[in-house]
Copies of this chain bind each other. A is one copy, B any other.
Amino acid sequence: MAITVVGSVAFDSVSTPSGSYERQLAGAATYFSLAASYFTDVRVVAVVGEDFTAKEQAVFDARGIDTRGIEHASGKSFFWAGSYHDNLNEAKTLQTDLNVFGAFAPKIPEAYQDSQFLFLANIDPVLQKRVRDAMPQVKLVGGDTMNYWINDHRENLLKTLKGVDILLINDTETKLLAENKNPVKAAHDVLGLGPKALVVKHGEYGATAFFGSSIFAKDKHAKHHPFRAPALPLAEVVDPTGAGDSFAGGFFGYIASQPELTPSVFRRAMFYGGVMGSFAVERFGTERMQQLSREEIESRFALFRELTHLD
């Protein structure tokens, strides 16, 4: 079943201890849709500038991603420059140019309206809510956000969260959103803001899901324990950019590929999220996300299982 994703399609200049690159295709919606494309049909809503050429279009086309919702505007695409040093979990932002993204008014093609899944990548919560409201028929909404929106646009974000079923954020964002430093209490506080499930990403340590009582069609009132999925211990992280978005793409893509959201599907989706995140960081930019095979994905899924399972 198809996923519509709204978010940034951008260009990044990145420097890491392993090397650097200049103005390459990037952005949350790009990483998300490439990762999800290995599992299901993906449709993108975004805006790009004149620097988005046939070369970038070909990346989406090669993965069969529907780009009719990518608006082409005059000017330049969203641009981000950042660097990573010893702590690869933390990027230092050197430059952010909104460019055409500054006036982004998401337009959803009619052909996207039968999407059953919607992912709101990390953008202004006002835009997230507008897209969510414009697609009332979707049956499951995933979302992401970041410190900036939590700190400076909290009221707007809280409105958006009421329409998000599964929120995927990291430890720091969870504590900041809940205004609670205890990670478990913070998670439960966030579940009180609207989301029925919260996936807290721990970087190199994996991710933990916390559940409210109504995300699963069956056992609506059962209490579901948290679930922890691992990250792969990697001797070399070439480029952490896009790891979180690739996690979200693998996670949501797998869910969309299954007939029903059950606890077992949710758990497997967490594993596939970790798998896609682990691939993303092996090469610079979106390189690895462009050229995976389903066999490689299944083989790494098996490795994740071996990494955590007793027998």
Interface residues, chain A, CB within 8 Å of chain B?
A: 86, 181-185, 187-188, 202, 204-206, 208, 210, 225-230, 233-236, 264, 267-268, 271, 303, 305-311
- Distance between A229 CB and nearest chain B CB, rounded to angstroms: 8
Q: How far is the CA of A264 from the CA of B38 in the complex (A)?
A: 33
Q: Are A228 and B308 in contact (CB under 8 A)?
A: yes
- Distance between A309 CB and nearest chain B CB, rounded to angstroms: 6
Chain B residue nearest to A224 in the complex (CB): B306
Q: Are B309 and A309 in contact (CB under 8 A)?
A: yes
Q: How many copies does the complex hold?
A: 2
Given A228-B307, A307-B228, A310-B309, A235–B268 Cβ distance below 8 Å? no
Residues of B within 8 A of A234 (CB): 184
Q: Are B228 and A310 in contact (CB under 8 A)?
A: no
- Distance between A281 CB and nearest chain B CB, rounded to angstroms: 13
Q: Are B305 and A225 in contact (CB under 8 A)?
A: no
Q: Are A306 and B225 in contact (CB under 8 A)?
A: yes
* Contact for A205 among B187, B206, B306, B307, CB less than 8 A: B206
Q: Are B184 and A227 in contact (CB under 8 A)?
A: no
Q: Are A235 and B182 in contact (CB under 8 A)?
A: yes
Q: Are A307 and B227 in contact (CB under 8 A)?
A: yes
Residues of B within 8 A of A308 (CB): 227-229, 308-309
- Distance between A301 CB and nearest chain B CB, rounded to angstroms: 10
Besides the known contacts A184-B233, A225-B303, 13 further A-B residue pairs in the complex with CB atoms under 8 A apart:
A182-B235, A184-B234, A184-B235, A187-B233, A188-B235, A205-B205, A225-B306, A228-B230, A228-B233, A305-B310, A308-B308, A309-B309, A309-B310
Enumerate the 3 nearest inter-chain pairs by beta-carbon distance, A residue then B residue, closest first: A205-B205, A184-B235, A228-B230
Residues of B within 8 A of A267 (CB): 310
Residues of B within 8 A of A202 (CB): 205
Q: Are B307 and A268 in contact (CB under 8 A)?
A: no
- Distance between A188 CB and nearest chain B CB, rounded to angstroms: 8
* Contact for A233 among B86, B226, B311, CB less than 8 A: B226
Residues of B within 8 A of A182 (CB): 235-236
Determine which residue in A183, A185, A230 has the highest number of CB atoms from chain B within 10 A of its CB, and name it.
A230
Q: How far is the CA of A187 from the CA of B233 in the complex (A)?
A: 10
Q: Are B205 and A310 in contact (CB under 8 A)?
A: no
- Distance between A198 CB and nearest chain B CB, rounded to angstroms: 12
Residues of B within 8 A of A310 (CB): 264, 267-268, 271, 305, 309
Q: How far is the CA of A86 from the CA of B175 in the complex (A)?
A: 12
- Distance between A180 CB and nearest chain B CB, rounded to angstroms: 10
Residues of B within 8 A of A230 (CB): 228
Q: Are B204 and A86 in contact (CB under 8 A)?
A: no
Q: Are B307 and A226 in contact (CB under 8 A)?
A: yes
